[in-house]
């Protein structure tokens, strides 16, 4: 059984995604992004979808809207961008209002598990969101239903090694309330949901390189030394989890 949407939303808005912590993450990832690689990585991934102009895309867990804005502005796509965190969406709405993309990007407060779309999207795109969702079977079925026949699903996500995990990693995952799969568990689940898997790739080495670049960014930020110290510590811990513990980063590309 999935948790009620309101419970998950308050968990996100009062925990990992308070307004202050979102803005702190954004300093590191770049304007309008809260995920590894910021705009550069998003551009590479959107290109992979090879969508024609005016194709319809769903950005699941759009955060501040960075990917959705890129899709509309640089790729001429029509984007429905949904997120469960009101804090994220409030900021995304402010940012959208400063663009001229309001008729191409549609922001909506929506739990991805509660989507009702059917055969509607040419592609579903999502960046580092599914770690928050426990019922991945229901999630993938819902997204498959939302896609048109032959529609594409592309996402990155925090993943893990097979259990048993090191104690520090278990404690971290519990404290964040994350629900992680191994890369091969994701592949199996995509297949059993009826997707054709094009790619299910361990991107952990790329993740480490991105963390190194992000650490450089943190060093150069004009911020209070206490904030810099906290961010540096967070990033060192993150790198230790991928280098010495059980955290992985996966890229998944599949078609309906």
Which CB sits closer to ligand SAM, 135 or 185? 135
Both tokens of 122, joined, read: 């040419």
The closest residue (CB) to ligand SAM is 63
Only segment of 62-70, 206-214, 218-226, 230-238 that touches ligand SAM (CB under 6 A)? 62-70
- According to the binding rule CB under 6 A, does residue 132 interact with ligand SAM? yes
28-158-168 Cα angle (round to 5) = 90
Site for ligand SAM in 149-168 (CB under 6 A): none
| CB-based contacts of 152, cutoff 8 Å, min separation 6 | 49, 51, 122, 123, 124, 253, 254, 255, 256
- According to the binding rule CB under 6 A, does residue 186 interact with ligand SAM? no
- Interacting residue with ligand SAM among 78, 128, 185, 202 (CB under 6 A): 128
In angstroms, give the least distance from the CB of 132 to ligand SAM.
Answer: 4
Is residue 117 within 8 A of residue 87, CB to CB? The reply is no
Class of residue 202 by CB neighbours under 10 A (exposed 0-12, middle 13-18, buried 19+): middle
Only segment of 69-77, 111-119, 143-151, 217-225 that touches ligand SAM (CB under 6 A)? 111-119
Which CB sits closer to ligand SAM, 111 or 214? 111
- According to the binding rule CB under 6 A, does residue 105 interact with ligand SAM? no
- According to the binding rule CB under 6 A, does residue 142 interact with ligand SAM? no
Is residue 39 within 8 A of residue 60, CB to CB? The reply is no
Is residue 250 within 8 A of residue 159, CB to CB? The reply is yes
Which CB sits closer to ligand SAM, 48 or 167? 48
Site for ligand SAM in 32-51 (CB under 6 A): 33-35
Is residue 49 within 8 A of residue 27, CB to CB? The reply is no
Is residue 149 within 8 A of residue 81, CB to CB? The reply is no
- According to the binding rule CB under 6 A, does residue 62 interact with ligand SAM? yes
CA 10 to CA 28: how far, in whole Å? 24
- According to the binding rule CB under 6 A, does residue 12 interact with ligand SAM? yes
Which CB sits closer to ligand SAM, 116 or 226? 116
Residues in binding contact with ligand SAM, number by CB under 6 A? 25
Which CB sits closer to ligand SAM, 25 or 196? 25
CA 111 to CA 115: how far, in whole Å? 7
The widest CA-to-CA distance across the chain, in whole angstroms, is: 52
3-state secondary structure of 63: coil
How distant, in Å, are the alpha carbons of 14, 71, 84, 88, 175 from that of 91? 15, 18, 13, 5, 25
- According to the binding rule CB under 6 A, does residue 84 interact with ligand SAM? yes
In angstroms, give the least distance from the CB of 54 to ligand SAM.
Answer: 23
> By the criterion CB under 6 A, which residues form the site for ligand SAM?
8, 12, 17, 33-35, 61-64, 66-67, 82-85, 88, 111-113, 127-129, 132-133
């Amino acid at each position: 059984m999935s948790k009620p949407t309101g419970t998950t939303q308050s968990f996100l808005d009062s925990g990992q995604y308070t307004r202050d912590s979102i803005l702190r993450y954004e300093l590191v990832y770049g304007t309008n992004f809260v995920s590894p690689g910021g705009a550069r990585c998003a551009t590479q991934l959107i290109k992979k979808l090879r969508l024609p102009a005016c194709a319809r895309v769903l950005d699941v867990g759009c955060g501040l809207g960075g990917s959705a804005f890129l899709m509309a502005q640089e790729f001429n796509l029509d984007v429905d961008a949904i997120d469960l965190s009101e804090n994220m969406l409030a900021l995304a709405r402010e940012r959208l209002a400063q663009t001229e993309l309001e008729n191409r990007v549609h922001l909506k407060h929506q739990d991805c598990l509660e989507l009702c779309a059917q055969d509607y999207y040419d592609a579903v795109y999502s960046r580092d969101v599914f770690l928050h969702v426990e019922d991945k079977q229901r999630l993938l079925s819902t997204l498959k239903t939302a896609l048109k026949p032959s529609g594409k699903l592309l996402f990155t996500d925090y993943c893990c090694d097979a259990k048993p995990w090191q104690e520090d990693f278990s404690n971290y995952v519990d404290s964040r309330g994350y629900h992680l799969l191994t890369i091969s568990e994701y592949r199996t689940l995509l297949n059993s949901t009826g997707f054709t898997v094009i790619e299910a790739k361990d991107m952990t080495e790329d993740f480490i390189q991105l963390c190194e670049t992000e650490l450089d960014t943190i060093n150069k930020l004009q911020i209070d030394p206490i904030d810099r110290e906290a961010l540096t510590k967070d990033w060192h811990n993150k790198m230790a989890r991928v280098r010495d513990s059980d955290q992985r980063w996966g890229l998944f590309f599949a078609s309906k």
